[in-house]
Chain A
Amino acid sequence: MTLAVNEVSVPVDFDNTGETDMKPPVLMTGEASYKRVTSLVSRIIEAPRAPAIWYPCFFLSASLAGLLFALIGYEVFTGVGVWGNNSPQGWGFPIVNFVFWVGIAHAGTLISAILLLFRQKWRTGINRFAEATTVFAVICAGVFPAIHVGRPWLAYWLAPYPNIMGDWPNFYSPLLWDAIAVGTYTTVSVLFWYLGMVPDLATLRDRATTRLRHTVFGILAMGWRGSAKHWKIYDRALLVIAGLATCLVLGVSSTVSTDFAVSLIPGWHETIFPPLFTVGAIFSGFATIMFLAYPVRAIFGLKSLITDRHLDNIAKITLFFASIMLYIYLIEFFIAYYSGNPYERYVYMNWMFGPYWWAGWAMLFFNGVLPQVLWFKYARTKWWIAAPIGLFCLTGMWCERFTIIIGSMTHDFLPSAWHHFVPTWVDYGMLAGSFGLFFTLFLLFCRFVPVVAMYEVKSILPQSHVHLPKMAGVKI
């Protein structure tokens, strides 16, 4: 077979979503040269100023993040009472937010790890900032469990360590599993993210024009020289961590779900929760990326690296998981009906028709129904459809957490104990603040760290394929 130059180097707005006879499929539009990949990504960091839009966004999210920490201070010094939590509803917003963010924290690892194991080349365009979302989401999630307890300064009692009380934590408690799971996940995902950046950091170091940059990136690159030996060890290490991360992706959300599944509250006591939470997590993760990818590539001019094909694939995966979600929801309702248990039945009725009906329906519609639009390629590839859908899915996921936690707790066994949950301004403030924190970190990341894994993209360019016949015009 033969290849023409223009087939390697397609126009920037080339529609690469369709199936072509081109093997491998075009995953970079525009001039597909190593040099261009490097410059496309590096210039974002090397530019003296960020794109104008970056500054207002950063200011907004930074101030929200500030609000978050101010409110945390207020809560710690005053008491859990500043939230809307009450007698039947012990957990309220903090845990809703926690589960929500933990969920989002799943796409990155999934893309990088699982797709890496499956040798999916297209992941290279997006895995870097997918992993970033993971790390930042985990950080946002990590904020809540520690501060939601009544006496945060004693939270370290969860740790099993020899002490003068001659006492151990209770290993039966899902909260303990939860803490361990999330802790592990944070470590691994940070490692994975950083390790994946090393060669690119080295690239930046070498391109650096100022002493400061050179030194900073130099240290961060840990003396990466790109020797064959480096690469050999590096690939192996990456593979091992990918393996670990993959287990965690499936493990963490299942563990988080046991916080609820292990209890006996109707609406929580569900065997289906581990898969539901895992699927939900991955789903919300991909929704996040679907939502973020468009602005990122638009603002930083990465259209030819994050191509329509990437976004198309993401949308397909989102659709896939959305459909599983829909299925699980229906199963849940059916089982509730089929169990004949009046308490179960009532809780699900209450989800959809009780005081929090809006959350119930938002959950069902945004997570299950709306994504079905993505069956259509048109919807998958048009930013003004796909990005909003991503946002709606996120809303839906938050509402799911809300429904499960608040919809169930406020109406459990004894009607005399029922009580509505009314969030306070602190609750809303902290919710907004957690988004602030997330975007602060994300914006900093976009500005100062290579948004796309350069070396990985290079590795999938046609010219990296040894079997590809050398010919004139192919720039190397």
Chain B
Amino acid sequence: MSDKPFFVFPRWSDTATKVILACGVLVPVYLVILLGYGANARTLNVNYQPVQPVAYSHAFHAGKLGINCQYCHTDVKRAAFAALPPTQTCMNCHTAIAPHSAALAWIRKSYKTGMPVPWKKVNDLPDYVYFNHAAHVNAGVSCLICHGQVNEMTHVYQAKPLNMAWCLQCHRNPAPYLRPRNEVTNMNWSPTDKTKLASDLGLTVATLPKNLGKYLVKRYHVPNSKLLTDCELCHH
């Protein structure tokens, strides 16, 4: 020991040690939470709502007017892509209805020039994910499940996180998410209306299955959850 030490731990360093130790535990925890929340698709993508070139309101067309989803998204039951409607479809009505509305400028331009309307993609999956609309819709998965209450959206926004864990909830146990095929586009469907349900399924109220989900899984040949969670089902 030299006579007068240049360095001794000051008293506060005892507290400092405790604080440092505490931080050593808490900071990682905080980071995990922050990342878990912040990097989560829920935070990043849910409610993502880009401005569209045309202020098209689903709330009005699908909701108020009650136009069926398939009137525009024609392929949804037979193809992987639901298909955005060609400008043609808009003009079916808008040649007559509000033909000169400023809001429809783009539509008219496109109709005349043949130049597509550059819609912003809202519900967007990574390119290595192969999603097939027909597969889901025909298994009785409603538009609602992934797209939310589109019929109430003035401007479409992403309603669900659309991340893998979220997909898996259903793929691991599809039964609760299914409904009769002919009700998939019905945004206000409820299983409580027994007579309606019976007629949808071509059954009588008496013969209605106790567990609708299980019944539909069998009826629509929904694969077992092992196959439904196979990687190559969505990634190839």
Contacts and interface: CB of A to CB of B under 8 A. Distances in A.
Report if A and B touch in the complex (beta carbons < 8 A).
Answer: yes
Contacts of B6: 208, 210-211, 214-215, 218
A166 B8 contact: no
A167 B7 contact: no
A223 interface: yes
Interface string A190-214: 0000000000000001111111001
Contacts of A214: 5-7
- Residue of A162, A165, A166, A218 ringed by the most chain B CB atoms within 10 A: A166
A175 B120 CA distance: 43
Contacts of A207: 2
A167 B164 contact: yes
B163 A164 contact: yes
Contact of B40 (A164, A166, A206): A164
B10 to A, nearest CB: 11
Contacts of A209: 2
Nearest to A214: B6
A416 interface: no
A163 interface: yes
Contacts of A167: 164
Given A164-B40, A165-B165, A218 B9 contact: yes
Contacts of A218: 5-9
Interface residues of A, number: 18
Chain A interface mostly:
loop
On chain B, which size bracket covers the interface? 10 to 19
B201 interface: no
A164 B7 contact: no
A164 B6 CA distance: 53
Contacts of B166: 164
Interface string B6-36: 1111000000000000000000000000001
B144 interface: no
A163 B165 CA distance: 8
A167 B5 CA distance: 56
B125 interface: no
Interface in A158-177: 162-167
B41 interface: yes
A211 B4 CA distance: 11
B65 interface: no
B1 interface: yes
Nearest to A213: B6
Given A208-B6, A218-B8, A164 B164 contact: yes
A166 B168 contact: yes
B164 A165 contact: yes
Given A206-B1, A214-B5, A214-B6, A164 B168 contact: no
A164 B165 contact: yes
Interface string A204-246: 0111111100110011000100000000000000000000000
Contacts of A210: 6
Interface in A131-173: 162-167
A386 B166 CA distance: 64
A206 B5 CA distance: 7
Given A214-B7, A215-B7, A218-B9, A206 B164 contact: no
A56 to B, nearest CB: 34
Interface in A17-71: none
B19 to A, nearest CB: 16
A166 B2 contact: no
Contacts of B1: 206
Nearest 5 Cβ contacts at the A-B interface: A218-B7, A166-B165, A214-B6, A164-B163, A165-B164
Interface of B: 1-2, 5-9, 36, 39-41, 161, 163-166, 168
18 contacts: A162-B36, A164-B40, A164-B161, A164-B166, A166-B164, A167-B164, A205-B5, A206-B2, A206-B5, A207-B2, A208-B6, A210-B6, A211-B6, A211-B7, A218-B7, A218-B9, A219-B7, A223-B9
Interface of A: 162-167, 205-211, 214-215, 218-219, 223
Given A166-B164, A208-B2, A214-B7, 14 more contacts: A163-B165, A164-B39, A164-B41, A164-B161, A164-B163, A166-B168, A167-B164, A206-B5, A210-B6, A211-B7, A214-B5, A218-B6, A218-B8, A218-B9
